[in-house]
Chains A and B, each alone.
Chain A
Amino acid sequence: MTLHHYLILAALLFCVGLMGAFTRRNAIVVLFSVEIMLNAANLNFIAFWRYSENPALLHGPLFTLFAIAVAAAEVAVGLALVIAVYRHFKTVDLESMDTLREE
């Protein structure tokens, strides 16, 4: 296994998540996609850590730890927002939430 394998995998996963974010109308699916992207990034970090010169620095795991923590917090807040939006718009369809547009 080379680093490149992991990198390609991570890039692929990231793009899957990106595609989901671009394409779906449901806000929660977009959140799914965001999580996928974050996880792909974490994978990248660990891969680079493992193939680095000095793994004793533990930079990979540390960053990933923090990333996971933040991601969790973000999901919590995001879902809370989705719930609030749902209460107002009665839907989580992104295309109906266009009150910020012109006219």
Chain B
Amino acid sequence: MNEVVAFWILSIIAIFGALVAVRKRNLIHGVFALLVFFAGLSGLFLLLLAEFIAAVQVLVYIGAVGILLLFAIMLTERVTGDDDRRVTSRGWFWGLVVTAAVFVVLLLPAIQQLPPPKAAQTIDPSVKELGHKLMNPYVVTLEVLALLLTAALIGAVTAAQGVRMPKEEDSPE
């Protein structure tokens, strides 16, 4: 019973957060709505008994990605966002149509397979297990991921810094 209620509350938080994030003209508000969304999602992960992931979600997404987005917003424009219209002038309707189509298609396998699987077993693998798995079968992936993060770091720094282009007048500021 509690579970159901929790699910619904968390769902509404998540949906609400996402909607506000994409609809708000003021980007700061949008970022904060996004953070709410991340929080809701973290709650959902908890509900699904994936505590470690929930924690990671909060740490990484809310703590790092959200802050990063905030900094980017502050660096790129005025806080209130652009003066232009929010929505593209070009056929937002078709965008909605495509969205609806995607929604239907995503649900097709689920709809086709009628009896949903049973409730989860109560086996709770621990974090230790996760760590063990990371080190033994998936260590290569881990290392690659590490490399990826390094590359991303270097790339981000380089891109943000800007390369001096050999142009006469258009030197990046």
Q: Do chains A and B touch in the complex (CB under 8 A)?
A: yes
List the interface of chain A (C-beta within 8 A of B): 1-9, 11-20, 22-26, 28-29, 31-33, 35-36, 39, 42-43, 46-47, 49-52, 55-56, 58, 60-62, 64-66, 68-77, 79-84, 86-88, 91-95
CB distance B156 to A32 under 8 Å? no
Distance of B91 from chain A, by nearest CB (Å): 9
Task: Tell me the complex Cα distance, A71–B145, Å.
Answer: 11
CB distance A3 to B116 under 8 Å? yes
A residues less than 8 Å from B155 (CB atoms): 77, 80
B77 within 8 Å of A by Cβ? yes
A residues less than 8 Å from B129 (CB atoms): 56, 58
Distance of A2 from chain B, by nearest CB (Å): 4
Contact of B48 among A6, A16, A81, A83 (CB under 8 A): A6
Closest to B81 in A: A26
Distance of B83 from chain A, by nearest CB (Å): 10
CB distance B34 to A36 under 8 Å? yes
B9 within 8 Å of A by Cβ? no
Interface flags, B51-81, vs A, CB<8A=1, else 0: 0110011001100110011011101110001
Contact of A83 among B72, B100, B118, B149 (CB under 8 A): B72
List the interface of chain B (C-beta within 8 A of A): 3-4, 7, 11, 14-15, 18-19, 21-23, 27, 30-31, 34, 37-38, 41, 44-45, 47-50, 52-53, 56-57, 60-61, 64-65, 68-69, 71-73, 75-77, 81-82, 84-90, 92, 95-96, 98-100, 102-103, 106-107, 110, 116-121, 123, 125, 129-130, 133-134, 138, 141, 145, 148-149, 151-153, 155-160, 162, 170, 172-173
Distance of A53 from chain B, by nearest CB (Å): 8
Distance of A69 from chain B, by nearest CB (Å): 5
A residues less than 8 Å from B48 (CB atoms): 6, 46-47, 49-50
Sampled A-B contacts (26; CB under 8 Å): A1-B3, A2-B119, A7-B110, A11-B106, A15-B99, A19-B99, A20-B18, A22-B88, A24-B86, A24-B87, A25-B84, A26-B27, A28-B27, A32-B22, A43-B45, A49-B48, A50-B48, A55-B125, A61-B130, A69-B60, A72-B61, A75-B69, A80-B156, A80-B159, A81-B159, A83-B72
A residues less than 8 Å from B44 (CB atoms): 6, 9, 43, 46
Distance of B144 from chain A, by nearest CB (Å): 9
CB distance A24 to B103 under 8 Å? no
